[in-house]
Amino acid sequence: MASTTSLATSSAGTPEDVTALPKPNPKHVLLMLDMQKFMLEEQPVGVPAAKTVHQNLAQVLAHARASPHPPLIIHVRNTGDPGEPDEPESEGWQLIFDPLPNEVVINKRKNNAFAGTTLGSYVAPDAEVVVVGFQTDFSVRATCSAALGRGNEVILLKEAHATFDRIEVLHGGGITPAAAIEAEIEAELEEAGVHIFEMRDLRGIFEDR
């Protein structure tokens, strides 16, 4: 399936008046990765930290929308195969938060949200990109790395991204908890140049520094 891009629409399916909303600041981008309903379902479908991360993601989005100079908000939605939790048009495929008319929605097929999509046309090479969403060790890692490679300043918010527990098939069948994987990827990305911020750093995160 090809990548698709759209602006949000009203519940009636028609575009809202974008002029009534603040114009996003393209120098700051909030990139919301794979924030789809199936991620919040009961385990084993949803992630272990679903409740906490859901609350934090709602806080991040509300803060971005309320900022005096709001960032460009981009919702990236993964498109799975038939029978998967994110099968197109299924309930699990739907976004957790309804986009506003001045926000962008992009569908993707790969972990790297820039690959095979129009994301690069929205994210300027000199933009600061705040990344949140799912999954830490797949889309979050790949997209943060790709953004760094483009020259973007990248911020990853702790406790605003999550993944699943990992079964270690090659190591006796043990399980690595999701929290350990999240910390591991944060350390890896920080070493590569990503800035790791806490939720308490949210205030002012979308302002010029």
Whole-number pLDDT of residue 19: 60
Q: Does residue 60 sit within a domain?
A: yes
Q: Does residue 58 sit within a domain?
A: yes
pLDDT in tens, 78-123: 999 999 989 999 999 999 999 999 999 999 999 999 999 999 999 9
How many CA within 13 A on the CB side of residue 142? Answer: 15
110 near 11, Cβ under 8 Å?
Answer: no
Q: Does residue 149 sit within a domain?
A: yes
Q: Does residue 129 sit within a domain?
A: yes
Give dist(CA 164, CA 43) in Å, integer. Answer: 9
Report the run of H or E that residue 122 belongs to, with start and end.
Answer: helix 119-122
Whole-number pLDDT of residue 167: 83
Query: Is 7 a residue whose pLDDT tops 80?
Result: no
Q: Does residue 10 sit within a domain?
A: no
Mean pLDDT of the chain: 91
Quote the tokens at residue 145. Answer: 């790395």
Q: Does residue 86 sit within a domain?
A: yes
DSSP, residue by residue, 42-82: STTTS-TTHHHHHHHHHHHHHHHHHSSSPEEEEEEEE---T
Query: Is 13 a residue whose pLDDT tops 90?
Result: no
**What's the CATH number where 101 sits?**
3.40.50.850
| pLDDT higher at 88 or 169 | 88
CA distance readout (Å), 17 to 20, 69, 104: 6, 19, 14
Give dist(CA 199, CA 197) in Å, integer. Answer: 7
Whole-number pLDDT of residue 200: 95
Q: Does residue 55 sit within a domain?
A: yes
Of 50-59, 144-153, 163-172, the range with the lowest mean pLDDT is 163-172
Quote the tokens at residue 125. Answer: 């090479």
> Which of 8, 67, 208 has its CA nearest to residue 126?
208
Whole-number pLDDT of residue 18: 60
100 near 18, Cβ under 8 Å?
Answer: no
Whole-number pLDDT of residue 11: 38
Q: How many folded domains does the chain comprise?
A: 1
Query: Is 77 a residue whose pLDDT tops 60?
Result: yes
pLDDT band for position 1 (cuts 50, 70, 90): very low
Q: Residue 104 sits in which domain range? A: 24-201
Q: Does residue 180 sit within a domain?
A: yes
Report the run of H or E that residue 117 belongs to, with start and end.
Answer: none
Q: What is the mean pLDDT of residues 117-143?
A: 97
Cis check for the bond before 44: say yes or no (omega within 30 of 0).
yes
